[in-house]
Structure 1
Amino acid sequence: MPNNNKELTLSAPLSGPVLTLANVPDAVFASGAMGDGIAIDPLNDTLYAPCDGEVIHVARTGHAVTLRADNGAELLLHLGLDTVELQGDGFSMLVKEGARVSNGQPLLRYDVDKVALRCKSLVSLLVITNGEHFQARPITLKGVKVGEPLLHILAKAPGETQDDDQATGSEVFGQIRIAHRGGLHARPAALIRQTAQGFKSRSRLHFQGKSASCDSVMGMMGLAITEQAQVHVSCRGSDAEAALQALLATLSTALAEEAHAEAPAIKPQRGIAEAGVLQGVCAAPGLVTGPLVRLDGIQLPQDAGGHDAEEQRQRLDSALSQVSGEIHLTLENAKARRHRDEEAIFSAHLALLEDPVLLDAAHLFIKQGSAATHAWNRSIEAQCQVLQQLGSTLLAERANDLRDLRQRVLRVLLGEAWQFDVAAGAIVAAQELTPSDLLQLSAQGVAGVCMAEGGATSHVAILARGKGLPCLVALGDALLAQAPGKMVVLDADGGRLELTPTAERLAQVHQEQVRQTSRRAEQQTLAHTPARTLDDVAVEVAANVASCGEAAQALANGADGVGLLRTEFLFVDRHTAPDEEEQRQAYQAVLHAMGDKPVIIRTIDVGGDKQLDYLPLPTEANPVLGLRGIRLAQVRPQLLDQQLRALLQTRPLSRCRILLPMVTEVDELLHIRQRLDAIGAELGLSERPQLGVMIEVPAAALLAEQLAEHADFLSIGTNDLSQYTLAMDRDHAGLAARVDALHPALLRLIAQTCAGAAKHGRWVGVCGALASDPLATPVLIGLGVRELSVSPPQIGAIKDRVRHLDAAQCARLSAELLNLGSAAGVRQACHQHWPLG
């Protein structure tokens, strides 16, 4: 019998740099869906047992093996990423299922060069697949050699008994053909487990006379289910039918990276010698060249101790107050520019700066005689160590936020300038940058950044993508050994930092940059002229904005109007609702900012997960399916009446268009039109603004013809329409990449919307993210969309795209796309029909 109470220390099964799962370039492993664990970028050619145990599963393709340790922990050892597709070529399994192995015993060997050239990455995983019973705590996050201590495994306290609901209720059955490339290996099994855990029912897979619980990744892998195999699924419990449908959908839908995969490029990965090149992970795309500049964190001298406690406490409190003020300014700037990512990140920083755990620890160190600098440093580092040992992706990222606060406060305490002394055009190298560092460097005009550590899902990566700053992470310590000042090429798309580029290579990169700059300049020059296709079909390119400042930017960038003004900016981050006059002034300011262009203003879309302090609503188990948009107006009609009254007082009304969110039936539209007419009559108005409906739920798309009879226009919100149609939360870590608005089902709904609107002579626009995707432009035009509302910087590029298209050809080819079976198929066809230049 396994001893589930016994702690276990796992030794390193490979030699090489250690990565947290957050830094693994694979969405399933990085999200934790597979389980908790650790990763190594291997430098050797043999995988060894990390402990004593029994081999309970050997992958038929020889790339993975699973052990059951003596304490009951099931340990998946997975060599490389996407290596299942090699079908065993390059691997030699040294053990068999059922064998007893000892710590340090060789399990499999592999041909380093052969495997590395053909797989996505050599990064290898050690994952606890029955993590509901165990937790992992890393011993080190630095490089290791085979046999060195790597991970502590601890048994969790016994949980509650299994829900009796699983043993009762009806049992339902279904069958499906497996869509995952390589069959049911580790990553798809993890997603199936994640799906099953969202329901109360007990679910099982059945294949060739054997079955396995969907709660067990190992059990499902042990069924050896191959690609395109027919599998039976059973679910028992009160929500069995819902669980069955969700599991069938997961089993029949390839992973996002599989669905979008093209033939893999043959390129070396980290750990494979390529002269003069460091391999890393792309955090933000781009190709740039420039001199390499090294940035180091603040290093404190030895603290002699014996400081005056009250004086040091005052110094620390003063520094904390100054940094708090700086962060408040950053927050206000982010809010003004509607940069939600920055706002969320620095709101978290402000909360951390005020955290009593940090402050109490620092004050205690000061009381014990430490200087304010050292007390703050010790407090931060202690918390970072705690967070990193928990093995959580989100908490590991929060450790970097703590280091950001460490740097900011120490700079104030030491009197150092906040600005880095870095020339514009430089490529910055650092151990790991913080969010504040990234913002400063971006403002100073650096060409790109690269880090020895860090992950592609970190806050720094998010900010780099938002700033359009090429960024590579996880390059390893070799980055920090490079001489500063040398000219390098940062090819973030290819995951490469080229340390010794030839003159020809530098010229090639420069030529590409000149070409892109010239094209952007040309696009901007023509951005203020109307966009017409080659066969003279007019397409309006408008802008999505959230303030009069953004509206002015949109007009300067050539917008034909505002396709979506989000009015939530008036209602959030305050304790009382804006009154009628404040709203009128805000809407009027946007109309003024847009000159003579039309402005579409969406009525308030809060509720559900977007709460207002002054409008308490009940907590909802499923916010995106709750009181949102027009539904909120139904329970708080005075809120919408006040907004309609403010909108009706803007001038000229002919340029003001009102858009209603989350409409699902015609009666909702008719009710709002009646309210608009009644309020207009109260105000003595003889005209009314145009009234449109957002098509963002499938019901509205299916009723487009009926809605168009009473609406003046329709505007498709592809973001919500995608998640509601595909039944996938676009914020779900494991599913977000699969919420693709080019899915044929979405295109069919768009086509039906355009056809329904055309019967009543109404125009259709798209204001969701799909409108900003140049690959989708010909499809949308072909389906009948005649207005695209995009982010202001993309206006010139989308207009340029329109001018190179033939609308008649787009219509013919788009009709064919409706018959394809996946978003990946649509994207591939789009690349063939309308290549991106």
Structure 2
Amino acid sequence: MHNNNKELTLSAPLSGPVLTLAKVPDPVFASGAMGDGIAIDPLNDTLHAPCAGVVVHVARTGHAVTLRADNGAELLLHLGLDTVELQGLGFSMLVKEGARVANGQPLLRYDLDKVAQQCKSLVSLLILTNSQDFQARPITLKSVKVGEPLLHIIRRQTSTAEVDIEFAGAEIVGHVCIAHRGGLHARPAALIRQTAQGFKSKSQLHFAGKSATCDSLIGLMGLAIGEQAEVQVSCQGPDAEAALQALLTALSTTLAEDSHAVAPPMIAQRNRPAEAGVLHGVCAAPGLVGGPLFRLNAISLPVDAGQHDPQQQRQVLDAALSQVRSEIDHTLAQAKKHKDSAEEAIFAAHLALLEDPALLDAASQSVDQGTAATHAWSQAIEAQCEVLQQTGSTLLAERANDLRDLKQRVLRVLLGDTWHYDVPAGAIVAAHELTPSDLLQLSQQGVAGLCMAEGGATSHVAILARGKGLPCMVALGSTLLDQQQGQPVVLDADGGRLELTPGTQRLTDVRQLQQQQQQRRAEQQTQAHTPALTTDGLCIEVAANVASSTEAADALANGADGVGLLRTEFLFVDRQTAPDEQEQHQAYQAVLDAMGDKSVIIRTIDVGGDKQLDYLPLPAEANPVLGLRGIRLAQVRPELLDQQLRALLHLRPLSRCRILLPMITEVDELLHIRQRLDALCTELGLAQRPELGVMIEVPAAALLAEQLAEHADFLSIGTNDLSQYTLAMDRDHAGLAARVDALHPALLRLIAQTCAGAAQHKRWVGVCGALASDPLATPVLIGLGVSELSVSPVQIGEIKDRVRHLDASECRRISQGLLKLSSASAVRHACHQHWPLS
């Protein structure tokens, strides 16, 4: 490796076949929006440093690390695609931020099998994040082994073009990394524009030598800013300081729907063998449907005869724009009413595009020159679409589709036609590319599925289709549009296939499968709001694990009997200061309010050890999982817990709030907190005491369950931690994570002992770990004496349905036998035998 401050040779951080970025099945990376670089499909389980340097960033979820090489090149090493969704499961980071590393030094390990099963793709990236200053030139595009030469990094002759700044004087500037998923596309750009409009100052965004004013949505999108890219914000004017702070916050805060939404796995077409009678594409929304294929055609304009009265055409266009604005306002109001945040964000972006100065000025100029309003509007939109498509960003090319949607909507009004698509219910719609408003109309008409020749899995149409439960495929290619109108097809979105010539039997089978699935889901949902009783009359409470009031509202809508675990860490992480008592109280009260008359179990803050807070410096620990976490942290920093308990004691009605303590290992810890709680109740003049429960997540607590139950009102088993502590296997350890199975007979014995101990004092036991959401484990948990299961909101109907098909006395009899088995796999096998999953 030579380094003369200009050139640097990077060695391979992983072993495996090398791919260019264009071949990476992810639009953000493939488009180069994040920077220049290379990808490797790894065959080994350790990521190594490609050169000497300093670790400047370690991803919170352990799947990525950024190095700064000695010549200033910044290198993002990103393991797998969508691996952030694994929340660190299967990853083990070997270095810390600020550490100096040598060329070839191991940076992170991961469980090859576990991560491969759970993420979209293992393809890993080496991205040059400051590509404006450096260039990456591949040395090889064949397979490499760790340490072999991979890339030349060369400093560009001329640094980034100087940013043109309009104003001198009192201009203030800030730098920030874009937090929005997929970069600054239409929805986040609309948020930035809205933020900027709240201030008098003029604000601009600068990236890679280009600038855009924050009041132009198209300008902002045209900068092609990718996720995690660093941008410069400049503000000038009377309230510049406030505007800058607001914009920096907006740019670095993820949109709410993006933090939960997971784009479905993209299926790379090129890896598909050719198959007669089948078109392959990318799944945008899952599902399997059969039906007649119907092709949609776009509006075609008559030829413009020439000179029109500009004033009259401007009035026509203004009237059409006003009508479309009010239609979108109505759609927005409906989306707000139904709390559909994804739909709300999409149409808020459309509204912002309709007011975009770049677009309106272009249309006005054409009208002034005598062009018809229809053609002026159409040409203005197409010119802006061209701008977005020339950025080379797949994501922004998809956003051009939103502009085309507005073109269609305004043209429909201008042409005096409501433009109702004549498509029968149950049809599978084929189009070059659908727009969001097309999709809403089609979904109201009861179509069965959607397929597009173009489009991407991250487009607004894809988000809406997933929300509506409409199977949808994109990128099927132009052959789709040559198919005969009305021919029967099968759309298998999960498999990324459109079957053009299915036989009668295949169509019948698909229809039956469809009906069974729909019926099953509908039945489970209609019964989801009624209690879950076993066939012999035992009532099992099915509650939800949530982390916010929005998730609590979802849980209630899905039939939750209450909240079995509110993780309060969501208030404490990813911020610079601790939330004060009032902020905490408001957040907890919102959850209580969202749950109607149901009870809510609120776990006190469970951080420390492996979950660090920036504003709470704790000593570095050799074994964080065995260190200061849960209630131990509260012992070291009692003011944190005191503040949280005060916030909880102000909740109304207090009778619906139950408090849960994490990481308890002995009775004294519980007694100490109970005394503290009593003292605070007296101080606040409260006669009523909230119920106080204990998490059973360390073997000591399970073994002392009887003693703990004497002083606790209930026990809740956290199977995730209990598994790793019982089996002495770190569930984040790459080589061991797959073996951390909560159905291990040793775990089942601890669960049995917990339930038996609690029964001595007539206390109930719940399970809030991942095991509660596993339908295979439901009969075992009921058999061992668990009476409450806290699951993810979407699984409430399914788990309640599972309970209703079980006989509790039979569960008890069989579960006792399971305790004598020798391994987790033996237990799983026996469960499948006794209680098959239908």
Select 2:740's aligned residue among 739, 744, 748: 744
Distance 1:764 1:718, change over 3 A: farther
Distance 1:794 1:400, change over 3 A: same
**Paired residue for 1:161?**
72
Q: Is the 8 A contact 2:545 2:791 kept in 1?
A: yes
**Paired residue for 1:464?**
465
**Paired residue for 1:486?**
487
Q: Is the 8 A contact 1:541 1:799 kept in 2?
A: yes
Task: Compute the displacement of 1:797 (Å).
Answer: 2.6
**In structure 1, distance between residues paired with 2:645 and 2:474:** 47
Task: Compute the displacement of 1:480 (Å).
Answer: 1.8
Task: Compute the displacement of 1:454 (Å).
Answer: 2.1
Distance 1:188 1:35, change over 3 A: farther
How many residues are paired up? 602
| SS, match of residue 29 in structure 1 | coil
| Most deviating of 404-413 and 526-535 | 526-535
Report matched runs for 1:282-431 at 5 Å. Answer: 282-304=283-305, 306-309=307-310, 311-313=312-314, 315-417=316-418, 420-431=421-432
**Paired residue for 1:63?**
none
**Paired residue for 2:599?**
599
Report matched runs for 1:669-708 at 5 Å. Answer: 677=678, 680-681=681-682, 685-691=686-692
| Cα displacement string for residues 238-281 of structure 1 (whole angstroms, at most 9, x for unaligned residues) | xxxxxxxxxxxxxxxxxxxxxxx9xx9xx998673514x43333
**Paired residue for 1:272?**
274
Q: Is the 8 A contact 1:290 1:447 kept in 2?
A: yes
**In structure 2, distance between residues paired with 1:816 and 1:427:** 51
Report matched runs for 1:641-790 at 5 Å. Answer: 641=646, 644-647=649-652, 649=653, 653=655, 656-658=656-658, 677=678, 680-681=681-682, 685-691=686-692, 712-714=714-716, 744=740, 765=766, 774=775, 777=778, 786-790=787-791
Task: Compute the displacement of 1:800 (Å).
Answer: 2.5
Task: Compute the displacement of 1:826 (Å).
Answer: 12
Q: Is the 8 A contact 2:282 2:496 kept in 1?
A: yes
**In structure 2, distance between residues paired with 1:500 and 1:538:** 50
**In structure 2, distance between residues paired with 1:606 and 1:298:** 57
Letter in 1 for 2:600: I
**In structure 2, distance between residues paired with 1:361 and 1:177:** 54
| Most deviating of 515-524 and 429-438 | 515-524
Letter in 1 for 2:599: V
**In structure 1, distance between residues paired with 2:661 and 2:407:** 43
Task: Compute the displacement of 1:689 (Å).
Answer: 3.0
Distance 1:766 1:467, change over 3 A: farther
**In structure 1, distance between residues paired with 2:471 and 2:442:** 12
**In structure 1, distance between residues paired with 2:410 and 2:815:** 57
**Paired residue for 2:126?**
193
RMSD over equivalenced CA pairs, Å: 6.6
Task: Compute the displacement of 1:634 (Å).
Answer: 6.8
Q: Is the 8 A contact 2:284 2:458 kept in 1?
A: yes
Distance 1:171 1:474, change over 3 A: closer
| Cα displacement string for residues 93-137 of structure 1 (whole angstroms, at most 9, x for unaligned residues) | xxxxxxxxxxxxxxxxxxxxxxxxxxxxxxxxxxxx99xxxxxxx
Q: Is the 8 A contact 1:528 1:559 kept in 2?
A: yes
**In structure 2, distance between residues paired with 1:411 and 1:773:** 50
**Paired residue for 2:475?**
474
Q: Is the 8 A contact 1:21 1:393 kept in 2?
A: no
Distance 1:487 1:174, change over 3 A: closer
Letter in 2 for 1:385: E
Letter in 2 for 1:296: N
| SS, match of residue 472 in structure 1 | strand
| SS, match of residue 278 in structure 1 | strand
Select 2:25's aligned residue among 29, 34, 47: 29
Task: Compute the displacement of 1:479 (Å).
Answer: 1.9
Q: Is the 8 A contact 1:298 1:407 kept in 2?
A: yes
**Paired residue for 1:503?**
504
Report matched runs for 1:212-227 at 5 Å. Answer: 222-224=143-145
Q: Is the 8 A contact 1:338 1:546 kept in 2?
A: no
Q: Is the 8 A contact 2:294 2:486 kept in 1?
A: yes
Task: Compute the displacement of 1:314 (Å).
Answer: 5.1
**In structure 1, distance between residues paired with 2:704 and 2:319:** 60
| SS, match of residue 291 in structure 1 | strand
Task: Compute the displacement of 1:538 (Å).
Answer: 5.4
| Most deviating of 326-335 and 750-759 | 750-759
- Which blocks of at least 5 consecutive residues in structure 1 are unaligned? 6-19, 38-72, 85-128, 131-157, 200-214, 232-260, 571-575, 608-616, 621-627, 729-737
Letter in 2 for 1:495: G
| Cα displacement string for residues 196-241 of structure 1 (whole angstroms, at most 9, x for unaligned residues) | x899xxxxxxxxxxxxxxx99866965357xxxx99xxxxxxxxxx
**In structure 1, distance between residues paired with 2:615 and 2:368:** 46
Q: Is the 8 A contact 1:782 1:814 kept in 2?
A: no
**Paired residue for 1:147?**
none
**In structure 1, distance between residues paired with 2:361 and 2:661:** 47
Task: Compute the displacement of 1:455 (Å).
Answer: 2.6
Task: Compute the displacement of 1:637 (Å).
Answer: 8.4
**In structure 1, distance between residues paired with 2:281 and 2:752:** 48
Distance 1:291 1:790, change over 3 A: farther
| Cα displacement string for residues 407-451 of structure 1 (whole angstroms, at most 9, x for unaligned residues) | 334334444437544333222221112233323322332211122
Distance 1:678 1:315, change over 3 A: farther
Distance 1:604 1:510, change over 3 A: same
| Cα displacement string for residues 389-422 of structure 1 (whole angstroms, at most 9, x for unaligned residues) | 3333433332333333333343344444375443
Distance 1:34 1:280, change over 3 A: closer
Letter in 2 for 1:30: D
| Cα displacement string for residues 595-625 of structure 1 (whole angstroms, at most 9, x for unaligned residues) | xxx4216599999xxxxxxxxx9999xxxxx
Task: Compute the displacement of 1:543 (Å).
Answer: 4.9
Distance 1:644 1:312, change over 3 A: farther
| SS, match of residue 390 in structure 1 | coil
- Which blocks of at least 5 consecutive residues in structure 2 are unaligned? 1-5, 7-19, 44-49, 52-68, 76-96, 131-135, 149-264, 572-579, 608-613, 618-629, 725-729
Task: Compute the displacement of 1:30 (Å).
Answer: 1.8
Distance 1:466 1:686, change over 3 A: same
Letter in 2 for 1:272: A
Q: Is the 8 A contact 1:380 1:403 kept in 2?
A: yes
Report matched runs for 1:573-584 at 5 Å. Answer: none
Distance 1:750 1:75, change over 3 A: same
Letter in 1 for 2:144: L
Letter in 2 for 1:460: V
| SS, match of residue 126 in structure 2 | helix
Q: Is the 8 A contact 1:751 1:784 kept in 2?
A: no
Letter in 2 for 1:193: L
**Paired residue for 1:112?**
none
Letter in 2 for 1:191: S
Distance 1:302 1:689, change over 3 A: farther
Distance 1:580 1:827, change over 3 A: closer
**In structure 2, distance between residues paired with 1:588 and 1:167:** 44
**In structure 2, distance between residues paired with 1:645 and 1:804:** 41
Distance 1:75 1:190, change over 3 A: closer
**Paired residue for 2:3?**
none
| Cα displacement string for residues 125-157 of structure 1 (whole angstroms, at most 9, x for unaligned residues) | xxxx99xxxxxxxxxxxxxxxxxxxxxxxxxxx
Task: Compute the displacement of 1:366 (Å).
Answer: 3.9
**Paired residue for 1:142?**
none
Letter in 1 for 2:274: I
Task: Compute the displacement of 1:295 (Å).
Answer: 2.0
Letter in 1 for 2:72: T
**In structure 1, distance between residues paired with 2:717 and 2:542:** 13
